[in-house]
Amino acid sequence: MKTYFRLLSFARPIEKYAIPYILFTIVAVVFGTLNLALVAPLLTTLFKQPAAGETVAVAAPLPAEPPSGFDLIAFMNYYAQKFNDDFGLMTTLKYVCAVIVISVIISNIFKYLGERTMENLRIHTLLNLRKSVFNNVMNLDIAYFNNERKGDIISKVASDVQVVQFSVTSTLQVVFKEPLQLIAYLVMLFMISVKLTLFSMLVIPVAGWLISRIVKRLKSQAAESHSTYGMMISYLDEALSGIKIIKAFNAIPFIRKRFDDENQKYSRIMRSMARRQQLASPVSETLGVIMVAGIVLYGGKLIAEGSNELDPGAFIAYIAIFSQIMRPAKAIGQSFSSIHSGIAAGERVLALIDEKPAIVNKPDAIEIRDFKDSLEFRNVTFGYQDRKILDNVNITIPRGASVALVGPSGGGKSTLMDLIPRFTQPWSGEIRIDGHNIQDYTMESLRGLMGTVNQETILFNDTIFNNIAFAYPEATQEQVEAAARIANAHDFIVASEEGYQTRIGDRGVKLSGGQRQRICIARAVLRNPPIMLLDEATSALDTESERLVQDALNNLMKNRTSLVIAHRLSTIQSADMIIVLEGGRIVETGTHFELLEKNGLYRKLIEMQTFNGN
């Protein structure tokens, strides 16, 4: 129940929807039940008319006072007979039929209003829940995504949230609408015949038990289907992302088989779930027919024996009402099954919302508008799970300095750089900007100081203009073009099909590696930040492009603080300071020539030319 009430909190303010829904449902149920009950006086009036050629029977005199409204059938029969005596058969039938039509119209109007209110509640819940899930995913530590499959995350945000919204909002139907409808039918049945209703009540629990057995395994199957669906989406994402490598290594048969195996497993689960869900309807219908048949036999016996409890018109009305009683009973059973599935999905969604560490602003976080003094690492230690990546790192980088990070693969260079914009949080120690711990700044203002270009080009399926202006949507055409010229991208852009409005495809697939990287550099240039973070920024460029872009970056980095990870000597030898990392520790610092004279690890790396960005 704890999970359920947490999920229900996303429907707030629920009273905005629940109160109108309850009122609409009460009216719809009352008039919907009345529609069937009105069949009794209609048929009673007809049955009491003599056939052609028969002697008109003397009708029993009407009581001086009409029966109580609590005896609804007798009350309606009284007025049907009174109208028949006063106005004749056809006029009475017209009145009864008019009342039935009006009752049906009122019932359906309020039924529609109730369903529309419920749909608004579903959409409202979906909006809040999906917003909360996505917002928390965006705040999660980068390390979380290194350990999770994207397909599982997509499945939770898309599929599971959808299941939750229907199951949570179905609660109002489970606890109110369907039970109310069931009670209304039972009350009406007891009003018509107590004996017949008590007889029928012996069969209903048996039907409910059989239906519950059918849907019992749906919860566990729903959880299994989620896991399989998430895996299948992960395989699809990997296949689309790595299509070139897959083709290059003739791995298409393997990829096809892997996806097909998961697809078939998912299909088997869904087929089994569908069979159980579809079995509920014919079973309940069959049981309903059996019960109606039994009621016809028993009710016919009562009429044949001349029981005062039933007349033919009331008996037919009884059968019409009883034929509908399995619908709300079946709906309650299915709703409980849906809620069980929704709670299982909700547990997975809430686990994603509760996932820690989520990187959030401190309540008293302040804005930082400029970088004036220095960037410091003070005894910083960091790792993933039990594996330490950085160990007691101490660095002071003055404003305007150009710093190159070098070292063997796995030394912690990219990890160190990721700590600055708070993509990850250190285990211990502090990173300070202008003497303040970066935890004291809002993430938005902190990251606003930085321009980032990674080894992996991150582009979106949009125009070249929008990709460059990604972090500065207000940029003008002139500003975007100026940034593109600095990044040596303007010439190939204007030569493309639609210039800056050319769409580049998914992840920039229509561009070459060097063109994609230059678009990313132009994006960083446009932001004009005081701190530049360049992780293998020129690794995807050919020699000529690298020279042109490196010249542009050198100009851009003047009077800016820049951290550069690179494996090419030409990129780092002009840095103001070079930091050599090995095994998460700083083993050497100095300029290019100072480090060469030390004859240490840096000199060995220079000789081996193994500056691998990592």
Q: Which two tokens stand for residue 399?
A: 């404003």
> Could you tell me what percent of the chain has a pLDDT over 70?
76
For the ranges 133-142, 285-294, 416-425, 449-458, the one whose mean pLDDT is highest: 416-425
> Domain total for the chain?
3
User: Same structural domain for residues 83 and 166?
Assistant: yes
Question: In terms of domains, do 218 and 321 share one?
Answer: yes
Q: Which residue has the higher pLDDT, 122 or 304?
A: 122
Contacts of the segment 61-66: beta carbons below 8 A, 24+ positions apart:
none
Dihedral over alpha carbons 248, 252, 253, 259 (to 10 degrees): 150
Residue 608: exposure state from Cβ atoms within 10 A (0-12, 13-18, ≥19): exposed
Q: Give the pLDDT band (50/70/90) at residue 2.
A: confident
In whole angstroms, what is the distance from residue 547 CA to residue 528 CA? 21
Average pLDDT, the chain: 78
- Specify the 3-state DSSP secondary structure of 579: strand
Residue 321 CA to residue 341 CA, distance in Å, equals 31
Specify whether 381 is located in the same domain as 514: no
In a domain, 90, yes or no: yes
Do 426 and 463 fall within a single domain? no
Asked if omega into 357 is within 30° of 0 (cis), the reply is yes
Residue 526 neighbours by CB under 8 Å, 6+ apart: 468, 469, 471, 472, 475, 479, 480, 483
Q: Are strands 428-433 and 374-384 parallel, antiparallel or unpaired?
A: antiparallel
CATH of the domain at 441: 3.40.50.300
Say whether both 298 and 439 belong to one domain: no
My answer on whether 510 and 535 are in the same domain is no
* 429 and 474 belong to one structural domain: no
In a domain, 547, yes or no: no
Same domain, 568 and 513: no
- Structural domain contains residue 512: yes
pLDDT at residue 434 greater than cutoff 80: yes
- Whether 287 is covered by a domain: the verdict is yes
pLDDT recorded at residue 350: 81
Tell me whether residue 417 is in a domain: yes
Please indicate, yes or no, whether the overall pTM of this predicted structure exceeds 0.75. no
Last residue within a domain, chosen from 353, 375, 394:
353
Could you tell me if residue 381 is inside a domain?
yes
Q: Determine the average pLDDT of the residues in 104-125.
A: 88
**Residue 421, preceding peptide bond in cis (omega within 30° of 0):** no
* CATH code where residue 339 lies: 1.20.1560.10
Give per-residue pLDDT as tens, 42-68: 666 655 554 444 444 445 556 666 666
Report how far apart, in Å, the C-alpha atoms of 235 and of each of 51, 159, 229 are.
Answer: 75, 17, 10
Which pLDDT score, from 0 to 100, does residue 45 have? 60
CB environment 511-534: b (16+ within 10 A), e (fewer): beebbbbbbbbbbbbbbebbbbbb
Q: Among the three residues 485, 506, 528, which one is the final residue of a domain in this structure?
A: 528
Question: In this structure, is residue 265 part of a structural domain?
Answer: yes
Please say whether the beta carbons of 198 and 309 come within 8 A.
no
Give me the residue label for tokens 């791995």.
251
> Domain check: are 433 and 469 in the same one?
no
State whether 211 and 279 are in the same domain.
yes
- Over residues 359-376, the mean pLDDT reads 87
DSSP string, 285-300: HHHHHHHHHHHHHHHH
Helix (H, G, I), strand (E, B) or coil at 496: coil
* Pair (151, 259) in one structural domain: yes
- Which tokens belong to 31? 């008039």
- Look up the domain containing 585 and give its range: 363-449+531-542+560-614
Based on the fold, state whether residues 204 and 280 are members of the same structural domain. yes
What are the tens digits of pLDDT across the range 312-338? 777 777 877 877 777 776 666 666 666
